[in-house]
């Protein structure tokens, strides 16, 4: 997995050190039985064994120190890998923009929190795996060196151990992947329910929503039971097989001792070697961690596979009027063609209102205008420059956005309004708020513009006005308003319109709207119908058409 390999490369020194320490610890574990056995034989013969006893104590001390260093390196390596994977995934998602949102917030959070953590532990687990394998293999070799018959007896049952480990790795992979996938679905449903908590409470449907959120629990439980079944079966099989192998080896060792082929010290060493040789629990544990990490890394890799828009090196002409052109633009959403070969020119300095029935493609057009999305075919140009050819900074400086349901960001209200690619001059937030009719309610807050954003409850209309203020605070060539005045009352909308339609610092304005009053103030109306431009004319020219009037639900012009 590229995610795991990248994390391992960034901390290669620690990963290699973990592997070396693990192998060193395995080597000490193989040396210790021989030293203990030799010391025992010396003691039984009445010979001095002080040096060998001291050597055994030294080995035990070094093992303890090595284990402590391994734990420290494992923790540091995993923490650094977790931070790197999460940082990489977050940056990638933000770079991908709205394209990444189709997975659902809850699922993305699950991938970036739990799955990233599991994937980050894989380099350390993989580095420790050779040592986990070295101990059993070394134990078998040491048994053979102690007495070949002991190794023969053990190897007779070794294929069963191998099959057990192989089956565990295969069976674990499928159920772990399924478990993580269902976790993401539940998280997505929970985030949706929390976002609609007021609606759920008002409708009295909390029990139904709880059932919907918890609906995948049986599937999650099934995957969980499968995991426990696989692990339990492997543990039970090992619990039967391992003691039988140990008893068989020790029985043969006892016979060889009685025959004089082994010393008591050799039998002691053989007993410890067979414990190392049957250390399947350590191998299974490391394999389980690697399997979980690989499955989790796959889910993170899916996020990183989300395409990120590429930007060019071209700069907009310095004195361009802000002319927006869509040439043969086609956009497909959910398998349906929303815009079909659309041609539209918004002259520099003008204001064009985009209207149409729900689903006509107004919001898609708004997203394409400032490259929050790319068309499936065709070209979008600003002052003659195709948007993909522009630098990211140049494009974001040139295009401002305000949305129907803006998200407020930043620590304070001032931060919310000035949130953008560049620092703004003093009092820019206040001037923009006055233009958006937000200054009045902001000054009523305990600390005015310095009030913490999360301490200030706002109505839907107030949030929209703050979103407009944010757009007004960053003047550019083009301002795109995606139904950004829909929650404003008539009086407030009229006042905002005075700032929006007269002497606005954005030279060109493109508005999607459901209001006849907003369309009437625009220079031109672009009427979308079934993915095509049905008409491009002033509101007064279109108003006599009854189908056009029907778009506004009987609202007066």
Whether 209 maps to a domain, the answer reads yes
| Containing structural domain, residue 439 | 324-550
**HSE of 460 in the Cβ direction (CA atoms, 13 Å)?**
9
**Residue 71 pLDDT more than 60?**
yes
- Cα–Cα distance, 40 to 267 (Å, whole number): 10
pLDDT at 542: 95
What integer is the mean pLDDT of 513-535?
91
Residues 287 and 365 in one domain: no
pLDDT interval class at 518 (50, 70, 90): confident
Average pLDDT in the 251-255 region? 86
Q: Classify residue 319: in a domain, yes or no.
A: no
Contact 358, 352 (CB under 8 A): no
Q: Which region, left, alpha or beta, applies to residue 383 given φ > 0 means left and ψ of -120 to 50 means alpha?
A: left
Q: Is residue 239 part of a domain?
A: yes
Among 304, 333, 361, residue at a domain's last position = 304
The candidate with the shortest Cα–Cα distance to 438, out of 472, 411, 465, is: 465
Establish if 318 belongs to a structural domain: no
pTM assigned to the model? 0.72
Spatial distance between the Cα atoms of 377 and 480, rounded to a whole number of angstroms: 21
Same domain, 341 and 257: no
255 and 377 together in one domain: no
Q: Which of 304, 338, 357 is the last residue of a domain?
A: 304
Q: How high is the pLDDT of residue 228?
A: 76
What is the pLDDT at residue 380? Answer: 96
Q: What is the pLDDT of residue 312?
A: 94
Residue 314 burial (CB < 10 Å; 0-12/13-18/19+)? middle
555 assigned to some structural domain: no
Residues 347 and 464 in one domain: yes
406: DSSP letter: P
181 and 286 inside one domain: yes
The pLDDT mean for the chain works out to: 84
Query: Maximum distance among all alpha carbons in the chain?
Result: 118
CA–CA separation, 214 vs 118, rounded Å? 24
Same domain, 299 and 381: no
DSSP state of 449: G
Is 42 in contact with 52 (CB distance < 8 Å)? yes
Number of domains the chain is built from: 2
* Helix (H) or strand (E) segment spanning residue 363: helix 362-369
What tokens does 456 get?
């200030």
Read off the CATH number of the domain in which 452 is found.
Answer: 3.40.50.300
Q: Are residues 278 and 370 in the same domain?
A: no
Q: How many CA atoms lie within 13 A of 85 on its CB side?
A: 38
Where would I find the beta strands (DSSP E) of 369-437? 377-382, 385-386, 399-403
At 536, the pLDDT band (50, 70, 90 cuts) reads very high
pLDDT at residue 383, as a whole number = 94
Contact assessment for residue 417 and residue 473, using Cβ atoms and an 8 Å cutoff: yes
- Would 177 be classed as within a structural domain? yes
Asked whether residue 261 falls in the same domain as residue 373, the answer is no
Q: Specify whether the backbone of 538 is left (phi greater than 0), alpha (psi in -120 to 50) or beta.
A: beta
- Same domain flag for 451 and 514: yes
User: Sheet harboring 351-355: ordered strands across?
Assistant: 399-403, 478-482, 508-512, 351-355, 524-529, 532-537
Average pLDDT on 91-112 reads 75
Residue 236 has pLDDT above 70, yes or no: no
The span from the CA of 354 to the CA of 375, in Å, is 18
Domain presence at residue 334: yes
Residues 254 and 211 in one domain: yes
**What are the tens digits of pLDDT across the range 309-340?**
889 999 999 888 899 999 999 999 878 899 99
Is residue 15 within 8 A of residue 8, CB to CB? The reply is yes
- Scored b (16 or more CB within 10 A) or e, 185-197 reads bbbbbbbebeeee
Residue at which a domain ends, from 244, 273, 304: 304
| Whether residues 352 and 288 fall in one domain | no
Q: What is the CATH number of the domain that holds 244?
A: 1.20.1560.10
Do 347 and 231 belong to one domain? Answer: no
pLDDT at 535 over 80: yes
Q: Which residue has the higher pLDDT, 392 or 160?
A: 392
**Residue 238: per-residue pLDDT:** 64
């Amino acid at each position: 997995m590229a995610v795991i390999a990248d994390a391992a490369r960034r901390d290669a020194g620690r990963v290699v050190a973990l592997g070396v320490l693990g192998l060193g610890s395995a080597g000490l574990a193989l040396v210790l039985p021989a030293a203990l056995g030799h010391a025992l034989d010396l003691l039984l013969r009445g010979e001095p064994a002080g040096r060998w006893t001291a050597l055994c104590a030294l080995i035990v001390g070094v093992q303890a120190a090595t284990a402590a260093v391994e734990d420290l390196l494992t923790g540091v390596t995993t923490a650094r890998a977790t931070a790197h994977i999460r940082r990489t995934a977050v940056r990638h998602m933000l770079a991908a923009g709205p394209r990444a949102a189709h997975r659902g917030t809850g699922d993305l959070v699950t991938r970036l929190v739990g799955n990233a953590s599991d994937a980050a532990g894989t380099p350390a687990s993989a580095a420790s795996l050779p040592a986990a394998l070295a101990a059993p293999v070394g134990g078998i070799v040491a048994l053979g060196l102690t007495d070949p018959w002991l190794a023969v007896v053990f190897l007779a049952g070794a294929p069963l151990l191998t099959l057990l480990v192989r089956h565990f790795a295969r069976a674990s992979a499928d159920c772990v992947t399924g478990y993580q996938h269902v976790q993401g679905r539940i998280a997505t449903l929970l985030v949706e329910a929390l976002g609609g908590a007021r609606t759920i409470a008002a409708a009295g449907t909390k029990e139904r929503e709880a059932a919907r959120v918890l609906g995948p629990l049986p599937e999650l439980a099934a995957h969980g039971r499968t995991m426990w079944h696989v692990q339990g079966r492997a543990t039970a099989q090992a619990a039967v097989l391992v003691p039988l192998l140990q008893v068989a080896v020790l029985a043969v060792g006892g016979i060889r001792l009685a025959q004089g082929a082994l010393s008591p010290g050799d039998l002691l060493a053989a007993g410890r070697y067979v414990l190392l040789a049957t250390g399947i629990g350590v191998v299974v544990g490391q394999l389980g961690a690697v399997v979980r990490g690989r499955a989790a890394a796959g889910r993170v890799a899916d996020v990183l596979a989300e395409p990120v828009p590429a930007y060019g090196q071209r700069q907009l002409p310095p004195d361009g009027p802000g002319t927006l052109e869509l040439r043969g633009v086609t956009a497909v959403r959910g398998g349906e063609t929303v815009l079909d070969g659309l041609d539209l020119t918004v002259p520099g300095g003008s204001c064009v209102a985009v209207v149409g029935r729900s689903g006509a493609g107004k919001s898609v057009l708004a997203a394409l205008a400032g490259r929050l999305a790319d068309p499936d075919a065709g070209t979008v140009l600003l002052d003659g420059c195709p948007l993909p050819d522009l630098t990211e900074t140049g494009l974001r400086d040139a295009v401002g956005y305000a949305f129907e349901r803006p998200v407020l960001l930043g620590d304070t209200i001032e931060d919310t309004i000035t949130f953008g690619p560049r620092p703004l001059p003093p009092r820019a937030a206040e001037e923009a708020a006055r233009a958006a009719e937000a200054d009045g309610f902001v000054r009523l807050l305990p600390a005015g513009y310095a009030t913490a954003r999360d301490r200030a409850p706002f109505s839907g209309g107030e949030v929209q006005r703050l979103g407009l203020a944010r757009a007004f605070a960053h003047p550019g060539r083009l301002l795109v308003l995606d139904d950004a005045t829909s929650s404003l009352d008539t009086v407030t909308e009229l006042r905002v319109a005075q700032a929006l339609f007269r002497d606005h610092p954005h030279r060109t304005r493109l508005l999607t709207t459901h209001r006849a009053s907003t369309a009437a103030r625009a220079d031109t109306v672009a009427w979308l119908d079934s993915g095509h431009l049905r008409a491009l004319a002033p509101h007064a020219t279109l108003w006599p058409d009854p189908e056009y009037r029907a778009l506004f639900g009987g609202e007066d012009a």
